[in-house]
Amino acid sequence: MSLIEIEHVTRRFGGLLAVDDVTTRVEDGELVGVIGPNGAGKTTLFNLISGFTPLSAGAVRFKGEAITGLKPHKIAARGMSRTFQNLRVFPNMSVFDNVSVGAVGAMGQSAFGAVFGGARRSDAISARTWAALERVGLTAEAEELAANLSYGKRKYLEIARALAMEPDLLILDEPAAGLNDSETAELARFIRSLNAAGMAIMLVEHDMNLVMGICSRVVVLASGRKIADAEPAAVRADPVVLEAYLGVED
């Protein structure tokens, strides 16, 4: 049994097939990249897997159980957490409270407690939050307002929130967007270290070097369809992939 089984997943927006009959899997502990030209359907695929967008057809199984049609928080509570292409940080909340929202979600409690009061923070939530902050190196900034963090640190804040859920599958949507080369290299090391500690990761990323450098397998989408699903070296040499990239203005 694979960790996640994505079977014939399809999503239509009116006449547009944004994701068209995509089937793939992620095994326990795998680090899988998802690439493709702009508009290929990468983010839509992530939204379908994590419950943010309903499927038009197909099915998703996670840890052997159907999750198709479940709400995002129910899917998250089962051990799948994600970040977003556009940062979803609460600027007027502290770094700690931003991250504790993730811990609260994973423990099936109302987010209200996390957002509105220390009094409702349980020890377990607090422990998960500190552990996530430590993993991303933001413990010193815990009481800072999120708005005061640099852009790069806010990216790690969002990852920390996902980590506070202690996921078995972490889904990262363009984590390197807006980062410079050295920040991207640091992020690559960080993602690798999470994976080395046993976490399965799906990564949508435009930075090809990042994807090819750290992923053991790469899924390529073009116009909603899966056109390749192989090791980085094979994907790099695949004429169908080259054609898809050359044929689309980026």
Ligand X SMILES: Nc1ncnc2c1ncn2[C@@H]1O[C@H](COP(=O)(O)OP(=O)(O)OP(=O)(O)O)[C@@H](O)[C@H]1O
List of residues contacting ligand X (CB under 6 A) = 13, 16, 18, 36, 38-44
* Cα atoms in the Cβ-side hemisphere of radius 13 Å centred on 178: 13
Complex with ligand X: residue 141 or 173, whichever CB lies closer:
173
Neighbours of 126 (CB within 10 A): 14
In the bound state with ligand X, the residue whose beta carbon lies nearer, of 37 and 102, is 37
Q: Which amino acid is at 152?
A: G
Closer to ligand X by CB, 41 or 167: give it: 41
Alpha carbon distance 99, 169 (integer Å): 18
* 228 sits in which H/E element: strand 225-230
State which residue, 127 or 242, has the beta carbon closest to ligand X. Answer: 242
Partners of 77 in the beta sheet? none
Tokens of residue 74, six digits: 């129910």
Contacts of 72 (CB under 8 A, 6+ apart): 50, 51, 52
Q: How far is the CB of 82 from ligand X (least distance, A)?
A: 13
Largest CA distance in the chain: 58
Q: Supply 245's token pair.
A: 């990239």
d(CA 27, CA 4) in angstroms, rounded, equals 7
Count of residues making up the chain: 250
CB nearer to ligand X: pick between 52 and 90 = 52
Distance CA 108, CA 89 (A): 20
Q: Closer to ligand X by CB, 44 or 100: give it.
A: 44
- Smallest separation, CB 130 to ligand X (Å): 33
